[in-house]
Amino acid sequence: MITTLLPLALKSLLNRQITASLTLATLSLSVMLILGVERIRNEAKESFANTISGTDVIVGARSGSVQLLLYSVFRVGNATSNISWRSYKKIKEWKDVAWTVPISLGDSHRGYRVLGTTRSYFDHYRFGYKQNLQFSNGTHFNDLFDAVIGWDAAKTLGYKVGDPLIVQHGLGDEGFLDHKDKPFRVSGILAKTGTPVDRTIHVSLRAIEAIHIDWRSGAPVQGLKIDADQVRKMKLLPREITAIFLGTKSRFGAFSTQRYINTFSGEPLLAILPGVALHELWTLMSTAEVALSTISVLVVASSILGMLTMLLASLNERRREMAILRAVGARPVHIFALLIIEALTLAIAASIVGTFLFYIALFISQPFFDAHFGLFITIQPPSDLDAIILISFISFSTIAGALPGWRAYRESLKNGLSIKT
């Protein structure tokens, strides 16, 4: 029966090609939308989870766990206060601490955050599935005023190894004041990570101290001028840092270290477990996630409703077609099956076209999401979730085709043989 009715259903749709094409376009766009929303949602969640790995505890000034995570890992916002170098040294010597990475934030370069750190940052910072940072070109800090820049910053600004770089005091596209008297040089460019590291300018902690050595309270000291050559001869030690990434000797050591830091007597500090804080952050964003999914489902539902409307509206025009089919021997079940096959054909065609449009849109928008949101959406074959979405879409579309099919089943002979005036 299917082999007989399928060609008939295709010819019937071709005979109504304008309405069928519009319905197919609407269904295809809805498929593209729901696949796109789900891919972005999953990639965003994966990107959040993989931003930092292998770090057991993050330490900062006492505030909130999400705030500490945002400014230390995602470079969003600022710390309420800093950590003294004396406290950092005490934490570093704690019995359960295996390694530490101090970081200092506060300056920028043409809209990109400048992060002061040590060589241990490149040894211990991990992202994704405990992947370490790699250099696409150049190397670590060799000189006091060397800078290692992330992949996106280098690509956008057009920098290569050896280019000069001026750090601005403060944040924003231009910063507030320039440290023109102490220019940096690009010593290395990091390989792509798909994390905020790609949009960060890395310099040494000593360099952060050096460019502010003749500054007080966020402004240059009048009459005091210490040039780069003089600073290189000085013994520079940071007075404060913004946060600490640290690893512990054991998994249980992370909890004892967290408790030690949260009850630290030297100054009010906060220690968080990155995994817990990331989950908390994603929970805060769950409302937007649910809203996006709801909107995409409603769009698909409206498209299926549009297909149902088209099939119902066409029944009045096809009364004589149905009557002729009955007259040549088609049974009511054949009429019912014909409408079901038409709905199924439209759904399958929309799934194919919508998936094709989804990958075209993904290929076009990938650089935009990467550049503006730091979200690198991978282009990969349809996942199990995509298959479930497409199968569900085809199933619901086919079920929707049962209503006009049932109507045609009951009224085909009666409507086809009677003439309405």
Residue in the block written with tokens 């809209």: 111
Domain assignment of residue 277, yes or no:
no
pLDDT given at position 374: 58
* 291 and 364 both lie in a single domain: yes
Cα distance between residue 119 and residue 124, in whole Å:
9
* 319 and 197 both lie in a single domain: no
* 332 and 257 both lie in a single domain: no
DSSP class of residue 47 equals H
Domain assignment of residue 278, yes or no:
no
The pLDDT profile of the chain, 421 residues, written as one tens digit per residue, is 556 667 766 777 777 778 788 888 888 888 898 888 888 877 777 777 778 888 999 999 998 898 999 999 988 888 889 999 999 999 999 999 999 999 999 889 988 999 999 999 999 999 877 889 999 999 999 899 999 999 989 999 999 999 999 998 776 555 457 878 889 999 999 998 888 899 999 999 999 988 888 766 666 676 677 777 787 888 888 889 999 999 999 988 999 999 999 999 889 999 999 988 888 887 777 777 777 778 878 888 888 887 777 777 776 666 666 666 666 666 666 677 777 888 888 889 999 999 999 999 888 887 777 666 656 677 788 888 889 889 988 888 888 877 776 776 666 555 444 544 4
pLDDT given at position 175: 47
* 239 and 194 both lie in a single domain: yes
Domain assignment of residue 72, yes or no:
yes
In single-letter form, the type of residue at position 358 comes to F
Single residue among 222, 243, 272 that ends a domain in this structure: 272
- Buried b / exposed e across 271-298, counting CB within 10 Å, b at 16+? bbbbeebbeebeeeeeeebeebeeebee
Number of domains in the chain: 2
pLDDT given at position 339: 76
pLDDT given at position 116: 94
* 15 and 63 both lie in a single domain: no
* 242 and 321 both lie in a single domain: no
State how far the alpha carbon of 211 is from the alpha carbons of 145, 177, 373, in Å: 9, 12, 30
Single residue among 221, 248, 272 that ends a domain in this structure: 272
* 337 and 249 both lie in a single domain: no
Single residue among 272, 302, 333 that ends a domain in this structure: 272
pLDDT given at position 50: 76
* 259 and 304 both lie in a single domain: no
* 154 and 294 both lie in a single domain: no
* 64 and 205 both lie in a single domain: yes
pLDDT given at position 150: 94
**Region label for 149, one of left (φ > 0), alpha (ψ between -120 and 50) or beta (otherwise):** beta
Residue 347: domain span: 2-48+286-417
| Pairing state between β 184-190 and 146-149 | parallel
Coarse DSSP helix, strand, coil percentages of the chain, rounded to the nearest 5 percent: 55, 15, 30
pLDDT given at position 315: 67
CA angle 35, 401, 421 (to 5 degrees): 135
* 21 and 61 both lie in a single domain: no
Enter the pTM of the model: 0.71
* 251 and 331 both lie in a single domain: no
